[in-house]
Amino acid sequence: MKFSDVIGQKEAKNRLRELVKEHRIPNTMMLCGPVGSGKLALALAFASYLLGERNDGESLLSDPRAIANAEAMLAKWEHPDLHFTYPVIKPTGTSADHKMTSDDFSQQWHELLLKSPYFSIDTWLTAMDAANQQALIGAGESDELTRKLSIKSSQGGYKVSIIWLPERMNVECANKLLKLLEEPPHQTVFIMVCEEPELLLDTIKSRTQRIDIKRIDDASLEQALIERRAIDAENAHRITRIAGGNWLRALENLDAGNENRQFLDMFIMLMRLAYQRNIKELKKWSKVVATYGREKQRRLLSYTMNMVRENFMYNFQQPELCYMTQEEENFSRKFARFINEANVIDISNLLQKARRDIGQNANAKVVFFDLALQMIVLLIRK
């Protein structure tokens, strides 16, 4: 994968190239940024460059046959010196003695990468048939990674370890990985692709060179929609504005049946029932949301937080500040006045707390019913 395949991110690309040019490649780096910004795509492009793939006609390898060989292996993500670590589930029926590793789902991982390097944890969970399970990186993974990286490079160059979502490591795995980072194997580069760095051990973060990846700039995202998805310029501009630098969100808006439409319905139902103080129906609403998987529940809460923000901004009557679809705006015309200076902060804090509780495996029925009841009180504040 080449840097040119990554949407936007010119600044990050240049910085990565400079690290190579100036021979300052750190043993461990961490690419941090929001969902849909292309962190994994950047990591893959940088790894490919380190392992010999040509970028703008340049390769770190000198032998044309070695370059061609490296590029052929990287085209299928099967280069022996490229190692992937990512969160996995433990399928029902798996032996209690078996420590899950990334290799247990390598086929699904490679299939997903070959489709596109732009995907979310939710897409990955679907690929693993995770149902309601949460994906983690366990101690078995750090043991396996130590074993793999102790082997000499098969091609005589770098060994690259891409760790996707390291914040999902359990404590045992994190501590073992820390030891590996303290004494990294010869010519090994660790690239962590992280969305919630605050969840990582401080001792791990202190041993990484952090590169913050921004949201994709609007011009690059709009151009990508036109060139890669054959969208006309007018629609590409509208979708870009709503996407807010998130390529995955842009793609969702191309899908007529995307999840956000379901979330909009649930948001409207919550707000209407809370305004009506219809506790009986709010309890039913809570039970329905409780049937979603935990990752979907967290996405619903994130969507709701975003809608609260957009409705608050809608009150200022400055269209350039609002980023809503036509359906969302239709509801907000009459509803926005209920989100105001008196309650917007408390509503946002309430939603953030609910999202955090769900992430910590709290009882979903209790969390969402409590959220609904408190929303009754907050909506009447003026």
User: 211 with 15: CB under 8 angstroms?
Assistant: yes
Query: Tell me, what's the pLDDT at 265?
Result: 92
Identify whether the C-beta of residue 133 lies closer than 8 Å to the C-beta of residue 89: yes
**How big is the CA angle at 74 (ends 69 and 76), to the nearest 5 degrees?**
110
Which residues have C-beta within 8 Å of that of residue 134, sequence separation ≥ 6? Answer: 89, 294, 295
CATH 1.20.272 range(s) for the chain read: 250-380
- Mean per-residue pLDDT for 191-217? 93
Percentage of the chain with pLDDT > 70?
Answer: 99
Instruction: Please provide residue 162's backbone torsions phi and psi, each rounded to the nearest 5 degrees.
Output: -95, 120
List strands edge to edge, sheet with 209-212: 82-85, 159-164, 188-194, 28-32, 209-212
On whether the CB atoms of residues 149 and 188 are closer than 8 A, the answer is yes
Please measure the distance between the N-terminal and C-terminal CA atoms of the chain and give it in whole angstroms: 54
CA angle 316, 321, 327 (to 5 degrees): 90
> pLDDT exceeding 90 applies to what percent of the chain?
68
Topology at the third CATH level for domain 3-214:
Rossmann fold (3.40.50)
Question: What residues does 83 pair with on adjacent strands?
Answer: 161
Predicted confidence at residue 9, as pLDDT, reads 94
- For residues 143 and 52, give the distance between their C-alpha atoms in angstroms, rounded to a whole number: 28
Mean pLDDT of 261-283: 94
- Residue 47 burial (10 A CB sphere; 0-12, 13-18, 19+): buried
Listed range (227-236, 253-262, 363-372) with the worst mean pLDDT:
253-262
CATH 3.40.50.300 range(s) for the chain read 3-214
What's the pLDDT tens digit per position in 81-107? Answer: 999 999 999 888 888 888 899 999 999
| pLDDT of 256 higher than 70 | no
Could you tell me which CATH number the domain at 250-380 has? 1.20.272
- What is the rounded distance in angstroms from the CA atom of residue 40 to the CA atom of residue 260? 24
pLDDT band at 382 (very low <50, low <70, confident <90, very high): confident
Mean pLDDT lowest among 8-12, 20-24, 239-243, 344-348: 239-243
Where does the chain have alpha helices with state H? 10-21, 39-50, 64-75, 106-115, 121-127, 139-149, 171-182, 202-205, 218-229, 233-243, 247-254, 259-276, 279-290, 294-314, 326-335, 344-359, 364-379
Look at residue 6 in the predicted model and tell me its pLDDT. 95
Per-residue pLDDT of 19-68, as tens digits, reads 999 989 999 999 999 999 999 999 999 999 999 998 888 888 888 898 99
Q: Which residues contact 149 (CB under 8 A, 6 or more apart)?
A: 83, 159, 161, 180, 185, 188
